[in-house]
Amino acid sequence: MEATPTLRLRPGKERSVARRHPWIYASAIAGVSGAPGSGALVQVQSSDGRFLAWAAYSPGSVIRARCWSFEQKDRIDAQWLVARVEAAVSRRQQLQEVTSAVRLVFGEADALPGFVVDRYEDFLVVQIQAAGIEVHREVLLDALCRCTACANVFDRSDPALRTREGLEVCGGVLRGAAPPQRLCIREHDLRYWVDLRHGHKTGFYIDQRDNRRLAGQLVQQLPLRKGRAARVLNCFCYTGGFSIAAARAGAQSVTSVDSSADALALARSNAELNVLGSQSAGEKTLGAIAPASLEWVCGDAFEQLRRLRAEGQRFDLIVLDPPKFATNQHQLERAARAYKDINLSALRLLEDGGTLLSFSCSAAVNADLFQKIVAGAVIDAGVDCYLRARLGASSDHPTLMTHPEGEYLKGLLLERA
């Protein structure tokens, strides 16, 4: 039997792997024995020859190996991979009662680094962004289809990530039928149209599920505190997830801003989908939205925030969920300025006692830095704010404690005093 190729690490570079961090950078490797190809199984050893991990080799990537397991007794074969898929799907089983859009596999957190799977109704949307996953693609897809009973698999792999991994750019139908132009999903007591082919990420911000519900709860609570319905501002609204949740909860008005006319068109359709009485005969009522309470603004959020302040407008709840401002450490300074700018503008629009939900999905901006940036905006705004909660992604996006890079979504719930 042919020996498994070995990666020998440089002295001192074994610390992170010994602490079960799943990434091994090219600069940490002293040498490679054997001739492993892209995605091949390799044994990772310390400089003195101690076993550290089993990993998938990626000769074209800066992350030269991604660890499957840190247990020497494990045998990384088809049976092992199938068991990882089944365990990941099983952990999300209870969410089927809440939603028909669930992240079933979240890469490193599910011991399948570089593999993301989202389920939308009876469609699976996958992202295959590591060499080890590419090599075992068919085994993994077979397991997914079998344990979910979904026959349709659509590939939405990020071209830039695959290129950095040294993989050929690909996408499209992998199994079954192509997704429709729009697919209707349910989330709590609401429904949303999703574009699986062209929408952001895999079509919808599944990771904000819990925070959308929180926004609705904040809107429901306001009349008890102030004796009137909430005025809501949702910037970078995309297809209106937070907006629909706030309107459904009884907001007096919801102003939604996005630079994409296509996204706003889908957001309007989402609002119509949840208007009371729009359901077919015999179907359970899922929403009750007054269309007149919704305003859709196509424009740059930075400029619109300044315009609203110039007009003297005020809001009880403001949501800031911008796109990624920093993709790497070199962009941190620019990203920090952008986050501070929008938070400063939002704080100046916030009513006394109002709430700001502010998010960052930039993995390069860690939670501590994000909080410092927002704190700087609070100081410059000259207001007093309480930090009521730190927020993150929904439960189907767990963070592996030894892989903090997986915690890409950070959020703060601030209340203006």
Taking only Cα atoms into account, the Rg of the chain, rounded to an integer number of angstroms, comes to: 23
- Asked whether 133 and 115 are in contact (CB, 8 A), the reply is yes
CA distances from 168 to 69, 129, 165, 194 (A): 26, 10, 9, 27
The alpha-helical segments, DSSP class H, found in 227-300 are 241-248, 261-273
Q: How far apart are the first and last CA of the chain?
A: 70
User: For strand 115-120 and strand 172-175, is the pairing parallel, antiparallel, or unpaired?
Assistant: unpaired
Which candidate in 67, 235, 361, 385 is catalytic?
A: 361
CA distance 401 to 65: 19
CA distances from 31 to 7, 35, 166, 261, 391 (A): 6, 11, 20, 52, 42
408 three-class SS: coil
Is 67 one of the annotated active-site residues of the chain? Answer: no
Nearest Cα to Cα of residue 179 among 200, 162, 196, 202: 196
Q: Which residues are catalytic?
A: 361
